[in-house]
Amino acid sequence: MKNENKLKGRDLINIGIYSAIYFVILFAVAMLGMIPIFLPLLSVLVPILGGIPFMLFLTKVKKPGMIFIMAMIMGILMLLTGMGPWPLLTCAIAGVLAEICFKSGEYKSAKKAVLCYGLFSMWIFGNYLPLFTDYEGYFAQRADYGQAYIDAVSKLMPLWMAPVLLAACFVCGLLGGLLGRAILKKHFEKAGLA
């Protein structure tokens, strides 16, 4: 049994393919975050749009560890794109939770898949964490964006936004999961990909 659960080359390549698609979508959306009003909205847009590739990814997940590896890769990429070390931590936590959740559905339950994506989406919160834990430092780093940007962001991001953002990630993750499933049914199953 143990051997069957080991990740093989094909599984690892699949992780790479879907992480790449997910990251491209994430990156395209994250560029909007430069406009202050969109910064909190990222926790809405990214989970919803990312749901499409993630749901497709889950149809290929049959072994433990794949979701966790994808989460860790996202963490490493965030580190490389200058978001600091916090996302690594949230990625690890969200990855484990999502993994456990999808495993409890024996890697095929559709409801668990949606819930799994909701949990997975919570890693995005890690990108906001420095805003709340190290407020001064966060803006000292972004001083060259101009005072107007800083004012706008600090007005949008009072401390009580922290739990709201976390919840938004989760709820929008669920919505994104549902959207992903709908698209999966409409397009990818027909095309023979799912």
Partner 1 sequence: MAYSSAQAQEKRRGFLDPRTKLALVLVLAVFVMGGLGGGQLRQIKTVLSALPFLLLLAERQWSRFAKGLAILAIGYGLLLAMPYLPGVLNYIALMCGGILTRFVVTVVMGEYLVATTSVSEFISAMERLHMPQTITIPMSVMFRLFPTIGSEWRSIRRAMAMRGIHLGGVKGGQVLEYQLVPMMTSTVRIGEELSASALTRGLGAPVRRTNICRIGFRAQDFVLLAGCLFVIAVWILELGGVKLW
Give the residues lining the site for partner 1 (CB under 8 A).
7-10, 12-17, 19-21, 23-25, 34, 49, 52-53, 56, 65, 69-70, 72-73, 76, 79-84, 140-142, 144-146, 148-149, 183, 187-188, 191, 193
- Minimum distance from residue 163 beta carbon to partner 1 (Å): 25
Nearer to partner 1, 54 or 107 (CB): 54
Nearer to partner 1, 123 or 167 (CB): 123
Nearer to partner 1, 72 or 156 (CB): 72
- Judge contact between 5 and 64, C-beta under 8 A: yes
Q: CA 110, CA 55: separation in Å to the nearest integer?
A: 9
HSE of 126, CA atoms in CB hemisphere, 13 A: 27
- Minimum distance from residue 183 beta carbon to partner 1 (Å): 7
Long-range contacts at 23-31 (CB < 8 A, ≥ 24 apart): 23/74, 23/77, 25/49, 25/50, 25/52, 25/53, 26/50, 26/74, 27/81
Nearer to partner 1, 13 or 167 (CB): 13
- Minimum distance from residue 99 beta carbon to partner 1 (Å): 14
- Judge contact between 177 and 54, C-beta under 8 A: yes
